[in-house]
Amino acid sequence: MKIKLIVLLSVFIVEFAGAQNAQQGKYFFVKSGHIEYALGGNTTGTKTVWFDDYGMLMYTLTESTTVAKILGIKSKSNEKNLEIRKGDKIWKIDLLKNTGGIIDIEAQTKKGKDMTLGKSDAQLLEMEKKVLTDIGAKIEGYETFLGKKCLKFSLGSTNFLQYKGIPLKSDVPLLGISYTETATSFEMNINVPASKFEIPKNIKLEEAVELPDLSSGLGSLKDLGNILKGEDDQKNSDGLAPGMNYGKFVEATKNLAIPGYRYFMSSNDDQLYLTTYVKSENDQVIIFAEHDSRFDELVVGNESQDVKSKYTLKGRSAAFIHINKEDDGTPVESRMLITRLPLQKTALYIISAKAFTQKQLEDILAQIKL
């Protein structure tokens, strides 16, 4: 059985600093730099960052292994991802597959400029604090790290150290997993070769997509990101993709009305599509689509999953399932509604981190027109 799960972890580490601190096109308050990070928790590995022109040019290489179980779904993956930012565009590249995509962040860059234009560093620091407190963060004070006076703040159960808009240390627990990122070295105001920001050749790139506006309504998930992809050692029963087109899945799932939740992102893997809505750090609703061979696997109860009912919903096989605990025994109250779409050869299921009722999940499913 193969499971590919994308979870939102630490755009807080990059996008938040960028969109909020962009003074006259600046993401950071430091002209250039080179940072090495160690990754810990469920994800282990390294991250290398080079930046110039106050972060308008940025190179980020992440090599990691992730092992996790989220909402009852176990995942394991090895990754080597490159991200290059040039002004108002970001290239995200999977160096193991030689594929990638381009993300348009023009709106976020413009918003950052409008907020910070003409402000001094002292004014920007105060604005940075206000933005953080407005989204529910708590300013804890300052802490010296790597010889630098860093702003220390927390957001729910997450903790961060940030220096002049640059994240140097983060601890992000989310839905039973842990992600830590700790700078081990930081050089400032150095000469960075222009070649660092060149896009590698022989990469199959998708067309540019616009990054969703995350600047309001995301509460404590504002700017949580870094995509974690999970994969166990086997494929699903037939190793097949969903029987529907990914674009059709996105169109059908990106504009749902889920009270209190906001659309965050959609993504796809060879054998799984997903769309995520978020309310807070520990509160998400995720819609998945896999090949319909997965239906029979998922409707079998086990120690972690209690199948409350198997029934017919609008002529289709369906099941309502309680997800009670993680592999390590951590109690959860997640809920899942799964249905089989025979014409599309697809198993469609919705998982809520909180204890949604069967009717609540059915109401969400009713909005998905496939």
User: Which CATH number goes with the domain that contains 261?
Assistant: 3.40.1000
User: Do 161 and 274 fall within a single domain?
Assistant: no
Q: Is residue 220 part of a domain?
A: no
SS in 3 state form for 26-39?
A: CCCCCCCEEEEEEE
Per the structure, how many domains does the chain have? 2
User: Do 296 and 148 fall within a single domain?
Assistant: no
Q: Is residue 263 part of a domain?
A: yes
Distance CA 252, CA 275 (A): 10
Report the pLDDT value the prediction gives residue 8, as an integer from 0 to 100: 39
Q: How confident is the model at residue 235 (pLDDT cuts 50, 70, 90)?
A: very low
Q: Is 84 helix (H, G, I), strand (E, B) or coil?
A: strand
Distance CA 90, CA 76 (A): 26
User: Do 41 and 163 fall within a single domain?
Assistant: yes
Query: Is residue 137 within 8 Å of residue 129, measured between CB atoms?
Result: no
User: Do 349 and 305 fall within a single domain?
Assistant: yes
Locate 197 and state its tokens: 């920001």
pTM, rounded to two decimals? 0.61
Residue span of the structural domain in which 335 resides: 235-367
Q: Is residue 215 part of a domain?
A: no
Q: Is residue 219 part of a domain?
A: no
Q: Is residue 351 part of a domain?
A: yes
Q: Is residue 83 part of a domain?
A: yes
User: Do 134 and 81 fall within a single domain?
Assistant: yes
Report the pLDDT value the prediction gives residue 302, as an integer from 0 to 100: 82
Q: Is residue 229 part of a domain?
A: no
Residue 19 has pLDDT above 60, yes or no: no
304-352 pLDDT, tens digit each:
889 999 999 999 999 999 988 766 677 888 999 999 999 889 999 999 9
Residue with the bigger pLDDT between 233 and 188: it is 188
Q: Is 263 helix (H, G, I), strand (E, B) or coil?
A: strand
Q: Is residue 36 part of a domain?
A: yes
Report the pLDDT value the prediction gives residue 219, as an integer from 0 to 100: 28
Distance CA 26, CA 269 (A): 34
Q: Exposure pattern of 179-199 as b/e (b: 16+ CB <10 Å)?
A: bbbbbeebeeeeebeeeebee
User: Do 280 and 192 fall within a single domain?
Assistant: no
Report the pLDDT value the prediction gives residue 269, as an integer from 0 to 100: 64
Residue 1 has pLDDT above 50, yes or no: no
Residue 51 has pLDDT above 90, yes or no: yes
What average pLDDT does the chain have?
A: 78
User: Do 140 and 199 fall within a single domain?
Assistant: yes
Q: How confident is the model at residue 285 (pLDDT cuts 50, 70, 90)?
A: very high
